[in-house]
Structure 1
């Protein structure tokens, strides 16, 4: 609220730039009015005509457009160009009236005359001019497009999935298969796919159009899929279906309560700020506005990004392109159909500040440049521009990309409702982007994603990112790729090229990216995941609450003074000359190396949980000066992981940093955020035969003595003993039973409860983890799915 008051105060003082002109807009106004407070106009488009007339008389005028409370149903995108403001002397300020809620909606009201049809379903004729309905709002609430399986708010994937969603047997029950929509996870759970059914073949199988939403083509997931927009699947309250041929809207109300108001989504982009590098739009401020009611865009998500898993739609409820010194503050993006904010191509000093992004269909905020600014771009994982034709100049080819832009103090939650290849904040082909003081939680994939190294210089700081990678896999709360010019899908080619010329690495990642003072949690991957080739990073003063930190085949990463709770450091397939540094960190399990023959420039001066973990590291030739012991956290239960005086961590150079500087600082947004899931136990400090740990609701302990050996039928005291598995626990859902003893995880022998937790954490990123269990005096294999 303080920020809003300060902004409003600035606007009141705008006459210092020149005389401020004010235009009022109200749903109860008329477009024949003059736009005064007493006689407001009715639409933003009419207000635009008025302010453009003012601007033509004085290009440096400051104009304040004030929207009274209510809903504004936009019949077309409001496009703001240099004609609206190209001056650094004046400002165009579009704001909601203080204390009122001004909603910009991409939906249109629909008059209905409901008739009782059958099975508790009502229908209403729809005007012939209405040909498409993507989303329906009844009494202001979004409804569920008829689907199979039915919508389940507690289901993990897509609110409900079924392997037989488009089976020939089910399709036979549909009168009109064409027009149905299929949503599915990627086969490897790297995002998702979306298709339209265009017909049925001679085998009774759906003919699908789509699938371009993922840049790593592997096909649909065999189980995690659902279908929607089928009349025969309309079988529960709040479901609806639009028959575009017969022009009928079908709806099943709750308890026969017919809708009072109905709206349907029409527009995809609500406001578009559109300029260019040569003619930028300048100093437009959007404040205290709510964006809602726009259409979904999953079938428009077609453009592949540089060798990542992503494809994108360059649009959103708010699209910003070719802008300078523009500011979006205190806005709400309420269940928008696709991306909330898309900052596209050339942009400088664009700030997204103090906004609430809730249940966006795709990403929260995206900063994405143009591939025409990239030297020798490649677009698919397996493609590579030959060295004989590669451009070896460093940095961007032109300035058609976002630079020096911010996303700050935003609450981004429950996004990726439709599109699973999404992120709270996404960065691609951009430079010097600051992502700071945001709270990002409950997302299907990464909270923050950096698509490639072009061109670095980002500052990722003071963010609180948790409940991440909830519907996908092999990812992190923070994720990055670095498949830049030096990167090749054949490791041998990459080895020889970078050995011959290490300068290839920073042709694109020209400036160091810094990740500092964040708190991350991922239970289905890594807290910080620097994947394929991610290079030129400095990572310090971060808390990793569960998933640890991974560095895979990149260069020049400095990782120091971080804390990894119930996990550790995951170095994967490093280069001989990586130049990587890992020092002064606290790890609470053994390192988790994969295919590591060399260990970078320096791995030393770290704190390990025990002598065995330290010895394992030293056997690899690292950590000669590291130590082992209890880190002595100030207050583990409350998430205060500063260490006490006398902690061995201090002896190896670890320095305390604040534990109360994560996430959004705006009180009203803090109140809307979900609680941070702090770890309940520090597993590494559990010791002794009677040690008990908690895993997915089950109580696990070491085998202790002859009595427990006899009870379980074991020949020795090796394994992790599940002494209590409540029927409602996640462990029970994964197949565990009271009395089970885990003997192996992915063929690694489990000696005790701590081994079980440690080994499981090592494999938690996988779609499935194979666990050997001893039950009823015989071994069996359980497959634990994420």
Structure 2
């Protein structure tokens, strides 16, 4: 039996001549030096050794649950001392843990200490196996029940044994095999390999292929079903996303025979033997494997497939979360949850998932080395257009998509969520993806993304739905959009390749693109692909790319993609009944909707040097009568402004374009940017852009901002 004590801090408040006492603030402490039989009221054990902090967060949570039933309006705070806390199970919170708006449940790091919540466990019983390779028999140990696909040493991810080896000097362009030939031109399960690509493996059935099929949009990880050595054919146990083409890149992993370099490992699932070649002399004593699916889950009460009775008003601040097989933090059916100032890494899937909630926030976190997306945000009601008001703000997200190359820094879906002031870099594909209605994407710094795939954007939407509109993309700084791909099977892989800055793909419509700075993108700064009613205004475009600084491309109505989606999109317009978006009423039939119409490109600065690059790239049949382009400032260093769509000689294209009514009030002049070469895109006071109505962009506000709840400081922009 034990007694619960607490720190009681009443506050006196004078209100209309009466003295009121605020609810009590109850403070508990957790420490690796603690004991769950103690009161938890002290930050360290007392001198007698009979009282002090709790040992576990689970116990602190349970104590507060009981106390909240007695005193629901009290303020509960848990302060966690530094150290590693290896969890035996996922730390969960439900409706019974909810605080209130004035008195949230707060769980935070003590002072400036660094508590680490880990879903991994150490492996210590290594013995020499062969040369520099060690092995550990996991039978009879605490980790025997677990099957794992990740291994860490010194907190760093190690490499599953593979062929060819991972090349740290060029991880994207080297360390791959290439498909020698396709099978039948469209197979998704078989391909021919080149001599030397397959070794004499004892158990090839354990092996997996990691392949980037067809258009190189993303990868697939699929077990090998068989190898026909006489025909040099590999057969996969499942389908790839696209038909396998000649020259597609791949590697083979999960084979003991390929454990041949430092930092590689292999796990014999049947024998429960772990093999590892330490990356350095210190690594062997620091090996851990993930045993938890997730580290933290905050969920509402579930009935069937929906969450009701939202868990609410909980703040988690200042932790490190590391080591799990799936997503690190999952928030589902909750509201007013805050995850702040934390470092999140070493995960098999996503960093933070916010699902079907309202007014939840991920603020000031560092997220990296996760298998999938950095932050996934979903919330709001698309039937009623009720906003979710979830936020991902002031986060530094980089090196995500370790396993899933279709991953993005941030993914935003639903209605009315906010993605602001984030720094996103080094992603395999998109920086920020948005889908849905009325989202606000602002003040983000997105750079060096799309490092492993192509046909992508730094900020991307692929709606395939005319009713998904009302989104605003403003005041973002985008540069070096990247891309990795090839023009054909006969040509070499290259980077940068086939990406855009802001990519409104697949009929994305009704989006406002305002006040962004877009520099050094590959194919174009802004690309509207089939969409309607988009407004592109007051942006600064620097060296947008080879296809055009501003690019329009309509979907051909007879294309298979259009034939598939146009009927569905028109049905949605008829069924949804939105009154918020008046322009939806102009889509009176499918043929009208299929026209790429109503797009506006006004009051933008375009500054580019490529002699061959068009000013405007226009492809297929856009509706010129409803397209507006005017009041822009263009500067091509006294070279001709090219609009190849006009189909006249280069020196006449600009005049013919103007004769059709476009850019009548635009001017050709140096916009007088302060120092664009060194990234200063402010305007001199006598800039002609100001005279034409272009407004200064608040560049100093873009990106991360200093805040006590930033996980790390400073971070260079």
TM-score by length of 2: 0.76
Specify which of 360, 366, 387 is matched with residue 356 of structure 1: 366
The 3 A distance-change label for structure 1 pair 180 and 672 is farther
Deviation at 1:40, TM superposition (A): 2.2
1:36 matched to 2:51? The reply is: no
Name the residue aligned to 2:185: none
Contact 1:513 / 1:538 at 8 angstroms: preserved in 2?
yes
For 2:125 and 2:135, locate their aligned partners in 1 and report how far apart those are by CA, in whole Å.
Answer: 9
What secondary structure is seen at the aligned counterpart in 2 of 1:349?
coil
1:54 is aligned to 67
Alignment of 1:168-183 (within 5 A): 171-183=198-210
* Deviation of the 1:438 alpha carbon: 0.9
Aligned to 2:152: 137
Q: Quote the residue 1:112 is aligned against.
A: 125
Structure 1 segment 201-350 matched on structure 2, within 5 A: 207-209=235-237, 217-219=242-244, 222-254=247-279, 259-275=284-300, 278-295=308-325, 297=326, 316-345=327-356, 347-350=357-360
Q: What's the counterpart of residue 674 of structure 2?
A: 634
CA distance in 1, matches of 2:101, 2:249: 51
Q: Classify the secondary structure of the residue corresponding to 2:640.
A: helix
Tell me, in whole angstroms, the C-alpha distance in 1 between the residues paired with 2:245 and 2:319: 38
- 1:523 pairs with 2:538: no
**Which residues of 2 match residues 277-676 of structure 1 at below 5 A?**
278-295=308-325, 297=326, 316-345=327-356, 347-368=357-378, 395-396=382-383, 403-428=388-413, 430-450=414-434, 452=435, 454=436, 456-484=437-465, 505-506=466-467, 508-509=468-469, 512-521=470-479, 522-524=481-483, 525-547=499-521, 548-567=525-544, 568-573=549-554, 576=595, 578-589=597-608, 590-599=615-624, 600-609=626-635, 610=638, 612-613=640-641, 616-620=653-657, 621=660, 622-666=662-706, 673=715
Backbone CA RMSD of aligned residues = 2.9
Given that residues 269 and 294 in structure 1 are in contact (C-alpha distance below 8 angstroms), is that contact kept between their aligned partners in structure 2? yes
SS in 1 for 2:331: strand
Match in the other structure for 1:195: 222
Superposed CA deviations along residues 465-506 of structure 1, whole A, max 9, x for unmatched, are 10011111011111111212xxxxxxxxxxxxxxxxxxxx33
- Residue 151 of structure 1, aligned match among 133, 141, 166: 166
Shift of the alpha carbon at 1:658?
A: 2.7
State how far apart, in whole Å, the 2-side matches of 1:662 and 1:573 are: 32
* Contact 2:409–2:427 (CA under 8 A) maintained in structure 1: yes
How far, CA to CA, are the matches of 1:556 and 1:220 in structure 2?
37
State the Cα distance separating 1:268 from its structure 2 match: 2.3
Alpha-carbon distance in 2 for matches of 1:644, 1:64: 51
Structure 1 residues 260 and 458: alpha-carbon distance in aligned structure 2, compared to 1, 3 A threshold: same
Task: Return the alpha-carbon distance in structure 2 between the equivalents of residues 107 and 187 of structure 1.
Answer: 36
Structure 1 position 657, deviation (Å): 2.1
TM-score (normalised: structure 1): 0.70
- CA distance 1:560–1:57, shift in 2 (3 Å): same
- Displacement of 1:433 in angstroms is 1.0
Distance 1:13 1:444, change over 3 A: farther
**How many residues matched?**
589
Deviation at 1:86, TM superposition (A): 5.9
Task: Please list the CA deviations of residues 711-769 of structure 1 after superposition, one character each: whole Å capped at 9, or x if unmatched.
Answer: xxxxxxxxxxxxxxxxxxxxxxxxxxxxxxxxxxxxxxxxxxxxxxxxxxxxxxxxxxx
CA contact (8 A) 2:510 2:534 kept: yes
**Residue 219 of structure 2 contacts residue 405 of structure 2 at CA under 8 Å; is this kept in 1?**
yes
The answer (yes or no) to whether the contact 1:555–1:578 under 8 Å persists in 2 is yes
The whole-number CA distance in structure 2 between the counterparts of 1:221 and 1:54 is 65
Q: Distance in 2 between matches of 1:201 and 1:61?
A: 69
In 2: Cα distance, 1:449 partner to 1:221 partner: 30
Give how far 1:60 is off: 3.1
In structure 1, what is the Cα distance between the partners aligned to 2:703 and 2:527? 22
Task: Decide which moves more: 163-172 or 327-336.
Answer: 163-172
Q: Is the 8 A contact 2:372 2:400 kept in 1?
A: yes
Quote how far apart the aligned CAs of 1:171 are: 4.8
> Relative to 1, partners in 2 of residues 1:26 and 1:98: Cα closer, same or farther, differing over 3 Å?
same
Structure 2: segments with no counterpart, 5+ residues: 1-8, 14-20, 46-51, 181-190, 302-306, 484-498, 556-593, 609-614, 643-651
